[in-house]
Amino acid sequence: MLALLSAMPDEITAVVESLGKVSTQTLGRRQYQVGSFRGEQLVAVFSGWGKVAAAATATQLITTFGATRMVFTGVAGAVQDGLAIGDVVIGTELIQHDMDASPIFPRYEVPLLGRALLGTDSGLRARLRAAAEGFLREDLRRSVSQSSRDWFHIESPRVIEGVIASGDQFIDSAAEIAALRHSLPQVTCVEMEGAAVAQVCEEYAVPFGVVRTISDAADESAPHDFARFAREVAGQYSFGILSHFLRER
């Protein structure tokens, strides 16, 4: 069973609409939609926002729905210099940037897991990368309006692989980004759920892949850009990337 987890409620809608024979189960205020796509059994759900919501959803996907692979889509704020709105990050490793149990454990280390960086599955990563590149090459112009592309200056977006940081914080100031860059120089982008799902997948030995589209620069313009990107662009990216992901297996 492949689990599709989305950090944006609308991102999953279009994917679910393309599934054959969907049944919905509501648990913990979340709607799990079960169906199949080209013979592959799928369960799709909105993760909720923040690490606790996402971890609870991921756990339910594994323990109730029998998820054996998990793919997480969503948006993120750019941290790495040069990363622009509309670029796509495939997560290599994830870290909880607000984890600090020092001096009992080293800063960022997940207590009792013995590690700060949580990995992703290389097979899912390769598939997600090919899917994101396929979407940008073949479908971007058709699926995202010219006015949205112009507004966000999305011209030739890139796909990169890198470390994703997660924390229970919406980052919206240049000072916060500078602090993050200083303490975690390997981080490419920041969001609020991925590392929590990575931890659950690690603990249950479920292969995990994550793809994040850059929606904002995590600075003072972030709240406005995030809202507009979520409304106009995020769903098209996720649907496009997931469609390629499911098709090109």
Residues in contact with ligand ADE by CB under 6 A are: 75-77, 170-172, 190-192, 215-216, 218, 222, 226
Nearer to ligand ADE, 35 or 74 (CB): 74
123 within 8 A of 208, measured Cβ to Cβ: no
Quote the least distance from Cβ 21 to ligand ADE, whole Å.
33
The residues with which 20 forms a beta bridge, in sequence order, are 36
Amino acid at 83: L
Quote the least distance from Cβ 186 to ligand ADE, whole Å.
17
Nearer to ligand ADE, 144 or 171 (CB): 171
Quote the least distance from Cβ 224 to ligand ADE, whole Å.
11
- Cα dist from 70 to 61, 147, 200, 215, whole Å: 9, 33, 11, 22
- Cα dist from 203 to 51, 57, 170, whole Å: 15, 14, 26
Nearest-angstrom CA–CA distance, 212 and 7: 10
Nearest-angstrom CA–CA distance, 222 and 98: 19
Nearer to ligand ADE, 121 or 172 (CB): 172
Quote the least distance from Cβ 219 to ligand ADE, whole Å.
8
Nearer to ligand ADE, 2 or 171 (CB): 171
